[in-house]
């Protein structure tokens, strides 16, 4: 096992791990020996991911499953408390839970949408980080935030999502400054389109979502959109000791999309 992928004895908490990028990331951490804590709002999906993690874990470690809505402060607190109560430590926090939203500035429900997306994509990260620092300082751990290329460039009707991710990027850079002296690294990954349920949650049908990804496949310089494993691989690298000199960076994983004339 290479050093970059040895997470034996590490406790890794991945939010939004009942599906998509978070689920695949949890399975990868489990494959390389970590004790994973998985969380989301859908209990059935969470159990399914837990089975997949246990199946690949070298020691058959069972994940801790915590049903939680990260937009609720009490759930965030319970998530960290449950993790520490079960394992007495936290090594890696992956703030991955997030959602997209389309809105025009003239939309009558713009402030409701603002609250929803900011509470899920940003406030949760601020609070979970706040709660985690004392534990990560003990383990000299690290934090990976999952942003988007939408934090780096504007997209039509997506200003709320873009703002949430742009703020997450800046939060990461500021926290890298504050937490570096405590021995905690903080990095952010900016993916372009990744084939998950993301577009269906935004409101597209399965067929529309698949059509959108197929259309983008041809436009991306590498000839395809991302898969969850692409982002999981980046997360595992940044979380590993081989990235011990890396903090406060935007790691763009986008198949070249950000620089392409799409
Ligand atoms: P999915 O919709 O496939 O998965 C989202 C995950 O987040 C699910 O596990 C969902 O679980 C969880 N989640 C959503 N809202 C909440 C909440 N309020 N409380 C707790 N859990 C929640 O999306 P992706 O895997 O694609 O997205 C993961 C991250 O990647 C997000 O931050 C997204 O912004 C980012 N991203 C995605 C891209 C893409 O094209 N897919 C591109 C760039 C960035 P449950 O429903 O069980 O609560």
Closest C-alpha residue for ligand 1 atom 11: 40
Catalytic residues: 161
Strand ranges across the sheet with 64-67: 64-67, 35-40, 11-14, 92-95, 142-146, 185-191, 250-253
Confidence (pTM): 0.98
Predicted pLDDT of residue 173: 98
**Substitution candidate for ligand 1 out of 13, 28, 36, 40 with most atoms within 8 A of CB:** 40
Question: Residue 52 in contact with residue 60, Cβ under 8 Å?
Answer: no
Domain with CATH 3.40.50.720 in the chain: 3-191+228-251
Question: Cβ(228)–Cβ(256) under 8 Å?
Answer: no
Distance 101 CA to ligand 1 centre (A): 12
CA atoms within 13 A on the CB side of 17: 31
145 touches 128 (CB < 8 A):
no
Q: Give the model's pLDDT for residue 1.
A: 47
Secondary structure class of 83 (helix, strand, coil): helix
| Strand ranges in the chain using DSSP code E only, listed in sequence order | 11-14, 35-40, 64-67, 92-95, 142-146, 185-191, 250-253
3-191+228-251: CATH, from 1.10.1060.10, 3.40.50.300, 3.40.630.10, 3.40.50.720: 3.40.50.720
Distances (CA, A) of 167 to 57, 134, 179, 190: 35, 23, 18, 12
List, run by run, the mean pLDDT of 10-residue segments along the chain (262 residues). Answer: 80 98 99 98 98 98 98 98 98 98 97 98 99 98 98 97 98 98 99 98 97 96 98 98 98 97 86
d(CA 66, CA 51): 14
SS3 letters for 144-173? EEECCHHHCCCCCCCHHHHHHHHHHHHHHH
Compute, in angstroms, the gap from residue 93 CA to the centroid of ligand 1: 15
């Amino acid at each position: 096992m290479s050093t970059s992928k040895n997470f034996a004895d590490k406790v890794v908490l991945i939010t939004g791990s009942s599906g998509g990028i978070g689920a695949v990331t949890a399975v990868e951490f489990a494959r390389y020996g970590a004790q994973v804590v998985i969380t989301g709002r859908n209990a059935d999906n969470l159990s399914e991911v837990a089975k997949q993690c246990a199946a690949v874990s070298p020691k058959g470690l069972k994940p801790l499953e915590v049903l939680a809505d990260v937009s609720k402060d009490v759930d965030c607190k319970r998530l960290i408390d449950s993790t520490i109560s079960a394992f007495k430590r936290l090594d890696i926090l992956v703030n991955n839970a997030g959602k997209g939203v389309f809105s025009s500035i003239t939309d009558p429900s713009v402030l409701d949408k603002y609250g929803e997306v900011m509470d899920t994509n940003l406030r949760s990260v601020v609070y979970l980080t706040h709660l985690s620092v004392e534990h990560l300082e003990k383990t000299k751990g690290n934090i990976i935030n999952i942003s988007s290329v939408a934090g780096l460039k504007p997209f039509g009707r997506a200003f709320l999502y873009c703002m949430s991710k742009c703020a997450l990027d800046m939060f990461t850079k500021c926290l890298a400054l504050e937490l570096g002296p405590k021995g905690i690294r903080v990095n952010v990954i900016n993916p372009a389109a990744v084939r998950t349920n993301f577009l269906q949650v935004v409101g597209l049908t399965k067929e529309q979502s698949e059509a959108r990804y197929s259309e983008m496949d041809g436009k991306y310089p590498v000839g395809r959109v991302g898969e969850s494993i692409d982002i999981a691989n980046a997360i595992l690298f940044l979380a590993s000791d081989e990235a011990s000199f890396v903090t406060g960076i935007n790691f763009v994983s986008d198949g070249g999309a950000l620089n392409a004339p799409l």
